[in-house]
Structure 1
Amino acid sequence: MASYVSHTSVDCADAYALSRWWQVVLDYVEDPEDPNGPGREECLIRSRDGHHQLLFIEVPDPKRVKNRVHVDLRPREGTRDEELARLLALGATAVDDRRNTDGTGWVVLADPEGNEFCILRSTAEVAASRGRDGA
């Protein structure tokens, strides 16, 4: 017997606003039978293939410390740095730059409510660097 992840929950102050932000970042969709809306205390979005869901839940407590669990994003297209520029333009905030001179590493960002997440290199960037290294 085993379990599976039903959804990832994100505590927040404004479930609708934050779900809309992440919906744009991830190109996720709402459940048409349970649409999100302003004032909803819980808003769910899911990947287009239905394999991953994010549930935003309004809580009265503000975020105070670093997240113990966070998501790592990998660009579907383009490069890590192009995706970083897009996310910053959407309102993300850079928290820590862990990029290395050899191209490895990541950037820690925060969403509009301060929840941290990371942006990694794209699969194509990783494959290209392995080709250069002979690995």
Structure 2
Amino acid sequence: MTSFISHTTVDCTDAYTLSKWWEKALDYRENPDDPNRPGDEECPIFSADGRHSVLFIEVPDAKQVKNRIHFDLRPVEGARDKELNRLLELGATQVSDLRKPDGSGWVVLADPEGNEFCILRSHQELAAAAAQG
């Protein structure tokens, strides 16, 4: 017998607002039969295929230190830097730039409540780098 991850939970101070931000960042959706509303203390969002969900739960305390667990995002298509710009335009904050001159590495960002996450190169970029050498 084993277990599987039912969903990923993110503690936050405003579940509705943060769920809406991550919906845009991940292209996830809420359940149309049970939509999230302002003031809801729990707001789930789901991947288009329904295989993954993120649950935002309001907690009384604000984030204090670095996350112990975080998302590593990889663009579905296109380039890491283009996705980086899109996320910054959505309201992410750049925390650390760990890109290397050869194009490898990642960028650490924070969502509007300060939860860190990383943006990696896309599979297309990785394949192109591997083909070059």
TM-score, normalised via structure 1 length: 0.97
Alignment correspondent of 2:105 = 105
SS across alignment from 2:109: strand
Distance 1:106 1:57 in 2: 28
Q: Which of structure 1's runs of 4+ aligned residues deviate more than 6 A?
A: none
Q: Which amino acid aligns with 1:102?
A: D
Alignment correspondent of 1:65 = 65
Distance 1:52 1:87 in 2: 20
Q: Which amino acid aligns with 2:21?
A: W
SS across alignment from 2:18: helix
SS across alignment from 1:77: coil
Alignment correspondent of 1:131 = 131
Q: Which amino acid aligns with 2:29?
A: V
Q: Which runs of 5+ in 1 are unaligned?
A: none
Does the alignment pair 1:54 with 2:54? yes
Alignment correspondent of 2:33 = 33
Alignment correspondent of 2:96 = 96
Q: Which amino acid aligns with 1:131?
A: A
Q: Which runs of 5+ in 2 are unaligned?
A: none
TM-superposed deviation, 1:77: 1.5
SS across alignment from 1:29: coil
Alignment correspondent of 1:8 = 8
Alignment correspondent of 2:82 = 82
Distance 2:81 2:32 in 1: 33
List per-residue Cα deviations over 1:36-77 (Å, max 9, x = no partner). 000000000010001110000000001010001000000012
Q: Which amino acid aligns with 1:114?
A: G
How many pairs does the alignment contain?
133
The alignment-based identity, stated in percent, is 67
TM-superposed deviation, 1:33: 2.1
Q: Which amino acid aligns with 2:19?
A: S
TM-superposed deviation, 1:34: 1.6
Distance 1:122 1:3 in 2: 29
Distance 1:10 1:34 in 2: 19
TM-score, normalised via structure 2 length: 0.99
TM-superposed deviation, 1:126: 0.2
List per-residue Cα deviations over 1:109-131 (Å, max 9, x = no partner). 00000000000000000000000
